[in-house]
Amino acid sequence: MKGDYQELVDEISALLAVPATLENRDFGLIAFGAHDSDDTIAMDPVRTRSILTRKSTPAVRAWFEDFGIARATGPVRIPAAPDAGVFRDRICLPVRHRGIVLGYVWLLDASPGPTEAQLAAAMEVTAKIGTLLADEERAGSDLSREFRAVLTAERGWQYDMAVSALRTALGGASADALHAVVCVTPWLSGDAPSARSLPGTAALCTVSWGAGGGAQAGQLGAGGSADGRAVSPDADAVGARAPGSGTAGRPGAPGSGTTGRTGTTGGGAGPGSGSPDDPRDAGHALAVLVRLRTADALAPAVTAADRLRAMAGGDAASGGVAAPRRGLADLNTAWLEASSAARAAQAQPGLGPVAEWAAIGPYRMLTALPPDIAHDPAVRELLDRSHAELARTAEVFLDNAGQAGRTAAALGIHRQTLYYRLSRVEQLTGLDLAKGEDRLLLHMTLKAARL
């Protein structure tokens, strides 16, 4: 397919005797014609950036779109705009299919420039490009649908059928390749980006992200009921079960003592606290299937997650990467790992912003526990927002293996202040911090509250 685009772009370049560049409607680079001119001025900075970074800046995009290129049916001449970084006049040939713009062919305009007959011939070539883009978009939609079906299918024969359909859509060689599943959340747009914008992407789709911060993709990653019943990707997120939780719940509801991303344990109303304006309560997660070269090199998956986080709002989003697998049979388990890693990155910023499943330590177990584990009777009072400082002190103390000196230094307090706070923790919980099992219970509950 890529070769077909290149041939058509080269054909336009030959027709008009100027190098052409093809971008999709999101201004992502698809193909470009050879530039063999010795004139360095002719190599416009916007074209250079498009080729090197495969995208244009928002200022450049806004300048071009102001000339109505998304509505145009024929060539559009666009003057230079140095303030926006556009130093050369341009001609835009909109690429359309059945009345819908799917991309743009860009040409540097010069005097005398191409004739009307040459431009008309070039527009005939753009119609062929439009057909290719439409076919690719249709194929991408099919892959998204099949990928989502796998992540939301019930276990057993329904899951097996969904995997078989995805295998057919991907093609045998691609389906049997080494992959890593990526989760990015929150994904507020609701629509998945083009796979073309992410090199190495085999498939991607959106999945509803429940009120508890869990992707609704059921048991072992795809759906969320205790008996393996799937949750529709378009189902109401409120009250949905988190991946692997096996129980309904709403961590972060009033009184739950859920933790925000700020790292403060307690009932604070930070992201993830279940407040009405928490974006995850009404958003989606984005699931991505990324091809890998080797199992010990997850860089393509991490890079994809970072790029998608930028699209999703940067610091507001987190990502998770599952352990690599060959083939599609264990996609449900891989999705559980990826979404759990993303939840861990939200709960513990030190793990993120993109966390790998293999590196989230105890959160591998905690993300699989029921949400109400954080409501253990012994710790419930400590999780009240009025005791947030005590809860944080206890968590830092346990994170430092009970070493008072390191804990006091981390908190910036005197040792006697630390001992006083820990005695208050024991009074509130009835736990004995000299006992390993009591420490374990407290530590698990404080960490689980973050989720």
- Judge whether 183 and 338 are in contact, CB under 8 Å: yes
Please tell me whether residues 417 and 389 are part of one structural domain: yes
User: What distance in Å separates the CA atoms of residue 213 and residue 285, rounded to the nearest whole number?
Assistant: 10
Please tell me whether residues 257 and 286 are part of one structural domain: yes
Please tell me whether residues 380 and 361 are part of one structural domain: no
Tokens 């336009």 belong to residue = 12
Please tell me whether residues 220 and 268 are part of one structural domain: yes
User: What distance in Å separates the CA atoms of residue 252 and residue 265, rounded to the nearest whole number?
Assistant: 11
Q: Name every residue whose Cβ is closer than 8 Å to that of residue 237 and which is 6 or more positions away in sequence.
A: 208, 209, 210, 211, 216, 281, 282
- Residue 145 domain flag: no
Half-sphere exposure of residue 159, counting CA atoms within 13 Å on the CB side? 21
Which of 340, 366, 392 represents a domain boundary (last residue)?
A: 366
Please tell me whether residues 407 and 346 are part of one structural domain: no
Angle, helices 331-347/116-152, rounded to nearest 10 degrees: 90
Domains in the chain: how many in total?
3
Please tell me whether residues 361 and 384 are part of one structural domain: no
CATH of residue 399's domain is 1.10.10.2840
- Residue 209 domain flag: yes
- Residue 141 domain flag: no
- Judge whether 407 and 400 are in contact, CB under 8 Å: yes
Please tell me whether residues 179 and 268 are part of one structural domain: yes
Note down pLDDT in tens along the chain; length 451 residues: 555 888 999 999 899 988 888 988 888 888 887 655 555 444 565 655 555 455 666 777 888 888 999 999 999 998 887 776 677 888 999 999 888 898 999 988 877 788 999 999 999 999 999 888 877 777 666 788 889 999 988 888 889 999 998 998 888 788 899 999 999 998 876 566 776 667 788 888 988 876 445 554 433 333 333 333 333 333 333 233 333 333 333 333 323 333 333 333 333 333 333 333 343 344 789 999 999 999 989 999 999 999 888 888 778 889 999 999 999 999 999 999 999 999 999 888 889 899 999 999 889 988 888 766 657 888 889 988 999 999 999 999 998 999 999 999 999 999 999 999 999 999 999 999 999 999 998 998 888 888 7
Assign 3-state DSSP to the chain and report helix, strand, coil percentages, each to 5: 45, 15, 40
User: What distance in Å separates the CA atoms of residue 95 and residue 103, rounded to the nearest whole number?
Assistant: 5
Claim: this prediction has a pTM higher than 0.75: no
- Residue 295 domain flag: yes
Q: Any idea what DSSP says for residue 137?
A: H
Please tell me whether residues 26 and 167 are part of one structural domain: no
Nearest to 40 by CA among 107, 95, 87: 87
CATH of residue 15's domain is 3.30.450.40
**What range does the domain containing 338 cover?**
153-366
